[in-house]
Structure formats: structure tokens, C-alpha cells
């Protein structure tokens, strides 16, 4: 058993800060790394030590594996937490860390490698009776044979890149005549994007829900599942709203999915925190898609409903400690929702909006958590992910968690940058969302930028009406319509929300 005394966080933004906080609570010293664009970032201020690692582009800073490892040697660091993105699912990085005698806070390099290849993953889990979408389990080499397989599966089918993930390199084929052309495109796309042209086919599930299971495993071979997260509200493979538990998963289905997820984890001798992704069809059949071998952005909703700090568990597991609980000790407590606040303009086709956070006031109150890495006055750098923060609510049931989230969105004041907050509020109020009858097509199907414009002009109308009635009553005691203590800009954002 190895004790971790000093940890380096190979990441930035909200997740770096999130990890620093748990490490501190465990009495572990923290080291931040930062690029020249992040000199004033919160993760730098919160860490015990911080080292500049290079110029702003990720390739010259947060992706510099060798530099990161050499900093660990210089500062007497004994473990590296990779967060999500950047080097978190890089097999070579995990290998280099253990070769340097350091601890990687994550699974083995072998598990990362197997799950990084869709075909290797399918092959690894094949002995575990995991439901999978009908399709091929080998790379396609012969077009004629593949066409026959597609015929027997039935169109539409989906061509996927083995090295792909998160929706990259996928192609839908509606009918046999299109098969060859789409296949050629898929292979060349896979080659240019991943340097690996291996593709396979699956039956295309047209309106799936995306439901994932959080797992935790220790180095002794114990594995538990921490229930599901519903992640169907997404746009262009970027998640927008997540919640736990899922409104459509029954206790029986939960147990079946949990058992399948444990099978997937066992198939690669998994330890650490991991997520097993499933797609769920309209009849609520679930199929294994892939396993993410990292801590995920949406992990806080699971923390809320289980009461478990996933980062602390990751660190304890990396130290070689056995899990301190069993499956039967885990219960679901209430309901939790997360919205991702992106610096994107939903009125302008979600184009990234950069600039300065002129006003930045976080919501507070019961059951609200904000994970962010910014403060008022800071710039959102153009070099990285446009996510400003994650707003997370927790309530006794789904209704309370949603209403609490809407209340918190109204409290959140952000000016200077367009954000996706209004879009999230629109979704949270939508009948299809409230009823749980939604799938991964929700945003495309139900949301248009103009809806927000309409709302804004309605607000203008109601202001005019209030002003008219104010002028007509002319009471000397009446309160001013506009609070002089707040700037006009702040007011505008409040009304817009």
C-alpha cells in the first residue's frame, strides 16, 4: 500500500479545482500546472504550489507528458490525477507515470488501451453476457460480406470507427445502394482522424436514450456500481443536461444495467472510477456502447445521490486501499440535475462566445452546487473547452431538483458573455423533459434559438405594461421600477433568465 502525500493535477479549470479540494480534505499537498493563458486561474491560486508548463495551446502545455513527469520529480510529487480530457485516457501517459515510479490516479494502462478501441472492448466483454447492438465484432475487410451482414441486420445501419468515440467517425446508411460509398468515406475519415481505418457496423437505433452507469473498482478486484446517469439531453455529442437517477429506469432495470456494467469492468480488470455507456431503445432494451476510463464531467450528480466523493475514492483506490463499502451499502438519496454552462450563444447557433465575465454572481441556497474555475472579471480563454461552469441541484425528488435548478438559473448572473443558461431553462420547463419522454434528439427536435428571442421580447412587453401602469397610478410611495443599485446590464440578464 502506497501513501500519497503530494499530488499533481494534470488539468485546468473546474475539474482541477474540484480535485484540489478533495486532496486537501485528505491532507494531501497539491501541485497545479498551468499554461501562460491560465496564470490567474483559480486552480493555480488554490493549489499549494503551481508551475507554468508552457504557452497557451494544449499541445504545448497540458498535453506535455514528459514535462509533467519531470515536474513531479523536481517537486517530490508521488501521484498524478489527470482529470478528464487532455491526457486522462492516454495509455502512454499512464505507462510513463508508472515507469517513473509515480502513481497514476486511474485504471491500469491496459484497461485504458482495451476500452480505447471499440472492437477490442467488444471482444473483451464477449464472455460476460453483456447486451450489445446487433452487428459485426470484427473490422470490415470485405465489402461484399459486410453488405450481406448489413442485409441480415436490416437497414438503417451505422458504420462506426473502432478508434472513434463520442460520435466521431459515425455514418448512418439508410439503404443498400449507399453502402459502398459511405463505407469508403467512413474508412478514410477514420484513417485521417485516428490513424486507424478499422470500422464495423451496427444496427442503427434511431431515437436512443443515453444512460450510463458509474462504477468503482479497487485493486483487490471488488467492483460496485453507483447507479445511472441520464445523459440524453445533448447537442452534437456535447452533453447539456444530466441527471441521476434516470426517470425511466425501474429498480429491476437498474439492477440489470448495474450487473452488466460490473461485467464490463471485470472484463478489463478495471480499478478506479469508470463509466459504462449504454444506449437504450424505445422499448427500454439497453446495449453496451463503450467504457470511459476516467472521471466524467457529470460525476457530481452521482456524488449527490450516493453521498460518495468520487475523487476521494479514486485517490484511496490509487493508494491500494480496498473499497470501504459493498453494493448493499449503496442507496439512492433523492434526485440530482446538472446543467453545463457553456460560453456559447444559443441564439446564434451555439457559436462560441469569448470575452470577459463582466458580471459573475453564483447562485446559492439549499441543494445548489456550482463547480467552476472562474471569477468576475476573468477572461474565458479561447484555447480550451468553452465550459464556464457546472450548476448542480439536489432535491428530495425529481420535481424538487428541477424546480431548484430553475430557481438557481434565475439567480445566476452572468454578463459580458453569452451562455447556454437560457437554453437549459427552456429544456427544464419543457413538457417532454418533465415527463421523461425524451431521447438524444431532444435539442434538435424541440429547441430553436428564436424561442429565446421571443421570450426576451415578451419581457420587453411586460416591462412596457408595468411602466404604463406605474405612470398611470403615479403613487408617490410606489417603489422605483428599476433598482438604482444594480447596473442596467445586470437587470437585462436577470429578465432574460
Backbone phi and psi for residue 353, each to the nearest 5 degrees, phi listed first = -120, 115
Instruction: Locate all alpha helices (DSSP H) within 154-298, ordered by sequence.
Output: 179-194, 251-267
Contact flag: residue 41 with ligand MV4 (CB under 6 A): no
Contact flag: residue 163 with ligand MV4 (CB under 6 A): no
Report the DSSP beta bridge partners of residue 223.
217
Name the 3-class secondary structure at 385. coil
Cβ-proximal residues to 50 (8 Å cutoff; 6+ apart), any chain? 31, 32, 33, 34, 44
Compute the least distance from the CB of residue 284 to ligand MV4, in Å: 15
Burial of 149 (0-12, 13-18, 19+ CB in 10 A): middle
Q: Is 294 a catalytic residue?
A: yes
CA distance 354 to 385: 11
Among 93, 204, 225, 227, binds ligand MV4 (CB under 6 A): 204
- Identify the active-site residue in 12, 171, 294, 340: 294
Contact flag: residue 210 with ligand MV4 (CB under 6 A): yes
Among 55, 101, 166, 355, binds ligand MV4 (CB under 6 A): 166
Q: From 36-44, 197-205, 211-219, 423-431, give the range in contact with ligand MV4 by CB under 6 A.
A: 197-205
Tell me, residue by residue from 219 to 258, as one string, x for binding to ligand MV4 by CB under 6 A and - for no binding. Answer: ---------------x--x---------------------
Contact flag: residue 202 with ligand MV4 (CB under 6 A): yes
Considering the complex, state which of residue 111 and residue 161 has its C-beta at the smaller distance from ligand MV4. Answer: 161
The kind and range of the H/E element at 123 are helix 118-125
**Residue 70, all three cell numbers:** 519531470
* Backbone torsion region of residue 158, taken as left when φ is above 0, otherwise alpha when ψ lies between -120 and 50, otherwise beta: beta
Tell me, residue by residue from 407 to 446, as one string, x for binding to ligand MV4 by CB under 6 A and - for no binding. Answer: ---------------------------------x------
Task: Report in angstroms the alpha-carbon separations of 88 from 15, 83, 293, 299.
Answer: 12, 6, 8, 15
The residue count for binding ligand MV4 (CB under 6 A) is 16
Task: Report in angstroms the alpha-carbon separations of 258 from 50, 119, 278.
Answer: 40, 22, 11
Compute the least distance from the CB of residue 21 to ligand MV4, in Å: 29
Considering the complex, state which of residue 127 and residue 237 has its C-beta at the smaller distance from ligand MV4. Answer: 237
Compute the least distance from the CB of residue 163 to ligand MV4, in Å: 12
CA distance 447 to 458: 18
Contact flag: residue 158 with ligand MV4 (CB under 6 A): yes
The residues that touch ligand MV4, with contacts defined as CB under 6 A, are: 133, 158, 166-167, 202-205, 208, 210, 234, 237, 279, 289-290, 440
Active site residues: 294
Amino acid at each position: 500500500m502506497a501513501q500519497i502525500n503530494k499530488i499533481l493535477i494534470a488539468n485546468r479549470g473546474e475539474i482541477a479545482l474540484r480535485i484540489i479540494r478533495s486532496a486537501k480534505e485528505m491532507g494531501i499537498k497539491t501541485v497545479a500546472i498551468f499554461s501562460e493563458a491560465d496564470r490567474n486561474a483559480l486552480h493555480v491560486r488554490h493549489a499549494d504550489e503551481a508551475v507554468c508548463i508552457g504557452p497557451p495551446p494544449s499541445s504545448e502545455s497540458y498535453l506535455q507528458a514528459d514535462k509533467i513527469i519531470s515536474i513531479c520529480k523536481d517537486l517530490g510529487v508521488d501521484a498524478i490525477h489527470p482529470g478528464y480530457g487532455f491526457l486522462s485516457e492516454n495509455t502512454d501517459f499512464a505507462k510513463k507515470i508508472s515507469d517513473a515510479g509515480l502513481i497514476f490516479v486511474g485504471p491500469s494502462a491496459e484497461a485504458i488501451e482495451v476500452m480505447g478501441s471499440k472492437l477490442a472492448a467488444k471482444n473483451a466483454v464477449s464472455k460476460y453476457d453483456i447486451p450489445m447492438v446487433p452487428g459485426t465484432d470484427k473490422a470490415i475487410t470485405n465489402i461484399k460480406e459486410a453488405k450481406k451482414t448489413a442485409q441480415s441486420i436490416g437497414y438503417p445501419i451505422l458504420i462506426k470507427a473502432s478508434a472513434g468515440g463520442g460520435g466521431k467517425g459515425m455514418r448512418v446508411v439508410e439503404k443498400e445502394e449507399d453502402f459502398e460509398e459511405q463505407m469508403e468515406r467512413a474508412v478514410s475519415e477514420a484513417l485521417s482522424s485516428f490513424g486507424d481505418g478499422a470500422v464495423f457496423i451496427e444496427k442503427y437505433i434511431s431515437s436512443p436514450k443515453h444512460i450510463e452507469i458509474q462504477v468503482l473498482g479497487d485493486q483487490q478486484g471488488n467492483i460496485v456500481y453507483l447507479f445511472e446517469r441520464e445523459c440524453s439531453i445533448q447537442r452534437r455529442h456535447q452533453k447539456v443536461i444530466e441527471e441521476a437517477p434516470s426517470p425511466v429506469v425501474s429498480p429491476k432495470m437498474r439492477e440489470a444495467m448495474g450487473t452488466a456494467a460490473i461485467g464490463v469492468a471485470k472484463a478489463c480488470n478495471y480499478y478506479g472510477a469508470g463509466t459504462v455507456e449504454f444506449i437504450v431503445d424505445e422499448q427500454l432494451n439497453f446495449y453496451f456502447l463503450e467504457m470511459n476510463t476516467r472521471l466524467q464531467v457529470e460525476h457530481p450528480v452521482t456524488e449527490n445521490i450516493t453521498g460518495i466523493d468520487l475523487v476521494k475514492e479514486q485517490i484511496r483506490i490509487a493508494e491500494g486501499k480496498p473499497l470501504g463499502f459493498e453494493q448493499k451499502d449503496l442507496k439512492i438519496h433523492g434526485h440530482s440535475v446538472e446543467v453545463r454552462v457553456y460560453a456559447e450563444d444559443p441564439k446564434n447557433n451555439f457559436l462560441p462566445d469569448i470575452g470577459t465575465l463582466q458580471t459573475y454572481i453564483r447562485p446559492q441556497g439549499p441543494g445548489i452546487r456550482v463547480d467552476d474555475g472562474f471569477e468576475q472579471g476573468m477572461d474565458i480563454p479561447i484555447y480550451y473547452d468553452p465550459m464556464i461552469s457546472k450548476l448542480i441541484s439536489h432535491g428530495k425528488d425529481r420535481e424538487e431538483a428541477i424546480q431548484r435548478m430553475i430557481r438557481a438559473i434565475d439567480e445566476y448572473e452572468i454578463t459580458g458573455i453569452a451562455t447556454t443558461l437560457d437554453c437549459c431553462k427552456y429544456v427544464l420547463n419543457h413538457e417532454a423533459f418533465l415527463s421523461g419522454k425524451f431521447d438524444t434528439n431532444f435539442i434538435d427536435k424541440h429547441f430553436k434559438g428564436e424561442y429565446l428571442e421571443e421570450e426576451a421580447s415578451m419581457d420587453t412587453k411586460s416591462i412596457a405594461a408595468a411602466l404604463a401602469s406605474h405612470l398611470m397610478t403615479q403613487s408617490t410611495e410606489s417603489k422605483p421600477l428599476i433598482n438604482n443599485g444594480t447596473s442596467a446590464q445586470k437587470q437585462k440578464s436577470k429578465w432574460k433568465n
